Chains A and B, each alone.
Chain A
């Protein structure tokens, strides 16, 4: 059964990540990868894309060159989608295509309260990554009768615009973020059964 899961995980991984997985393979059993290796690899892609959009698009155009704004209502305001929205849109697009893994962006200080941790693993994980800078949190949990491997990765303010937008937003519960702070966490789940 375990081998089957790993085979399945490998297939998903190959489809989702392509060559990224090659660098991460090994250590997850013969010829396969562990759920943790899968989520680590997924996160590597997510984190990199997210940083690129935040720094090279949003921070550059809104803060450095000041040619356009970023707005939650980007269509009405003819503006750029916020980095958190870009991330969520990707997660929703994935959710429409597969239930083999899912991910979300959460925080202990969310602007949108729906993005606060809900499950006990999410709560523990977000607290852990906040208390232990540089470390990830891995656990298993049962949700709706299904078992999941759940990984929580720190989401860090990579550009000045991350901190300034969150600090200035009227719904923020925290106003002292600075570049380099853990602002929240990326939660990735892989079903185990």
Chain B
């Protein structure tokens, strides 16, 4: 009898457990019960959208690799990845692959292993270069005695992106002064260059607003701001953003980034690639985008809500904790202010040492002078100058200047900033030193680098030999 009871309890417990997990797996929106460990700083925002990485239940390494490359492949190609998968798939590397299977991202970047995750989301010991480059001192006597855990951490090399660190580049720019003679960042593109439709659009005034009288009356401030704003001057009326669909006249109070992306496609795309917008990446799925614009979609399709500072891992201002991040968070909807978006908007949330030190930095002094009209356009340095830089992008219509809204594109490892940002104004050797000095980064580059990285000197020495 007692045995029967034990079996009954056992079976019931098993059923309850199976029921609980089945519900979580198939019915519940919240899948957090299945997370095996805290995700890295790069992925924690989307850890509840399990399918972003685990695209198939039983796929193995190849499926996971495809998922990694879906998001990171284009960037790796752009930076001319120094260690692409194709370099390792030749069978002659079989011995090496047994030590370190460099064909797969997850060999070095394991997820959900927070306690062993190091800088750049690397989960290997930092001396991983040793496996293939252990005899480097034979070719580079200058490297004799250097520890292998310093190759990628001392400011000399990166595993993937060495576009500003390769030897010929170091030699080419070795003699640049600390501050270049012409120090200027890329200028804004003309409106008509970015949006050719603006050339033929009609300038709209307050009386042209096409929202209903009720809405205009309830939003007097917005109406007035819009009339003075670049959107009205470019012929963009209320309905263009709030009522995009031809089939559905429903008014949308808060247009989402998919709406903005109708005109600002590259800006919306890059926004969704970075930490500010990655939770909204599904908005840019072409199919969902069409339905969003036609207003036939459900909340569930978005998978995740917009990012908020409360969900972030950096220090943020407590009062901004629950502010959702979309286009309007930085660019006000009806009084589009690029200068505000380039600095004050950032400081509305970010509260770390580096951000808070900006207003005491030489970069800020330059920014103030430019804003006051006392210095040339493009000579000031705001948050966006470095973290959301203007770049030349290739489009079907040719090259155009674009603000890259993926703030991660130039952030880690920070040598990614050298060519696209720092070298607009500063010499290469100084930049390499500055970016390797954590203290100098913390005080927002208020001072000189405390030490010198010798990579440029070594490159010159070899050149002279």
Contact = CB atoms under 8 A, between A and B. Distances in A.
B462 A73 contact: no
Chain A interface, >50% SS class: mixed
Interface residues of B, number: 21
A144 interface: yes
Nearest to B94: A144
Contacts of B87: 92
A102 interface: yes
B86 A96 contact: yes
A122 interface: yes
A145 B91 CA distance: 10
B92 interface: yes
B89 A73 contact: no
Contact of A143 (B92, B166, B169): B92
Contacts of A175: none
Contact of B89 (A75, A95, A118, A122): A95
Contacts of B253: none
Interface string A67-88: 0000011011000000000000
B98 interface: yes
A176 interface: no
A34 interface: no
Interface in B72-120: 80, 84-87, 89-95, 97-98
Most-contacted residue by chain B among A93, A95, A113, A171 (CB, 10 A): A95
Chain B interface, >50% SS class: helix
Contacts of B92: 104, 118-119, 122, 143, 187, 189
A102 B169 contact: no
Nearest to A106: B92
Given A92-B86, A95-B86, A189 B91 contact: yes
A85 B214 CA distance: 66
Most-contacted residue by chain B among A91, A144, A145 (CB, 10 A): A144
Interface string B162-178: 00001011000000000
Contacts of B169: 73, 76
Most-contacted residue by chain A among B80, B91, B139, B463 (CB, 10 A): B91
B313 interface: no
A95 B90 contact: yes
Given A76-B169, A170-B463, A144 B89 contact: no
B138 to A, nearest CB: 8
A33 to B, nearest CB: 21
Interface of A: 72-73, 75-76, 91-93, 95-96, 99, 102, 104, 113, 118-119, 122, 143-146, 148, 170-171, 187, 189, 191
